[in-house]
Chain A
Amino acid sequence: MNAEVQRVVISLPARAEYVDIVRLNLYGIASKMGFTYEDIEDMKVAVSEACNNSVLYAYGKQDGIVEVAFEVFEDMLSITVRDEGESFERTSTSGSATLHDKELLDVEIGGLGFYLMEALMDEVSIENAAGRGTKVVMAKRLTRSEEKV
């Protein structure tokens, strides 16, 4: 592979029934790069959570578009999920999204998606500006395994 970055971009309706298409594309690209089964599973969850947020919060009741860009580096896969809707709010402040320090009755469900993205990827950044959409950029480094998926 040459040094330049190779990009695969897909554009989908911001609807729940298309999120599995993103996972299928991710699987194809990540397995071609040589990621392990476990790393691919991690990325599937992280990318789906970013798409879920666009589907749920970006466009209200209107139909919109989610754009997912995969950037294939020599030793890293970077994935950008972008929408052009209203930006979503983080439902909880960072650090308190997990349930580890909570009793069952105090548990709130919001925030788990963000927490999973951050826990499962090597790098995550979220940019949102009111009315100008949300962009989530996440990356996973390639640790080469003996057996390819």
Chain B
Amino acid sequence: MNANKNDKFKATTEKNGNSCTVYLAGELDLSVAPDFRLVMEPLVSDAGIDLIVNLKDLKYIDSTGIGILLSILKARHGMEARFLVEQVPPQIQKLFDMTGIAKFFAPNENSQ
């Protein structure tokens, strides 16, 4: 139930060669966490692609969303497959810095 249409969570996948970018928009919170997991699951397990999550239009993330990103990081790290998070809005970067997850997104891979 999202009262404001602009806040409604959306995940759009775009494949380009051997990289795959998932564009997130709206609010990623507890209520849409299962939807986000569902979109990501097949992509995370595909070691043949570079997986990128673009947060440019993400308005809000809670600890559930941060937890999912963290579990993706762990899974990709275990598979030695690439996982990048790009275009992080300032208010979300602040949460990444506070929780300490920021250090796992390598700076050279995070600034494109």
- Using a CB–CB cutoff of 8 Å, the interface residues on chain A facing chain B are 16-21, 23-24, 38, 41, 44-45, 48-49, 52, 55-56, 98-102, 104-105, 107, 109, 112-113, 115-116, 119-120
Q: How large is the interface on B (under 10, 10 to 19, 20 to 34, 35 or more residues)?
A: 20 to 34
B98 interface residue, CB < 8 Å from A? yes
Identify which of residues 25-39 in chain B touch chain A, using a CB-to-CB cut-off of 8 Å.
27, 29-31, 33
B91 interface residue, CB < 8 Å from A? yes
B101 interface residue, CB < 8 Å from A? yes
A105 proximity list for chain B (CB < 8 A): 74, 77
- CB pair B62–A56 under 8 Å, yes or no, is no
- CB pair B99–A24 under 8 Å, yes or no, is no
- Using a CB–CB cutoff of 8 Å, the interface residues on chain B facing chain A are 1-4, 7, 27, 29-31, 33, 60, 62-64, 66-67, 70-71, 73-74, 77, 91, 95, 98-101, 103-104
- CB pair A104–B100 under 8 Å, yes or no, is no
Q: Is the interface of A mostly helix, strand, loop or mixed?
A: helix
- CB pair A20–B2 under 8 Å, yes or no, is yes
Q: Is the interface of B mostly helix, strand, loop or mixed?
A: helix
- CB pair B1–A20 under 8 Å, yes or no, is yes
- The answer for the CA separation of A95 and B65 in the assembled complex, in Å, is 21
- CB pair B60–A16 under 8 Å, yes or no, is no
- The answer for the CA separation of A23 and B67 in the assembled complex, in Å, is 20
- CB pair B63–A116 under 8 Å, yes or no, is yes
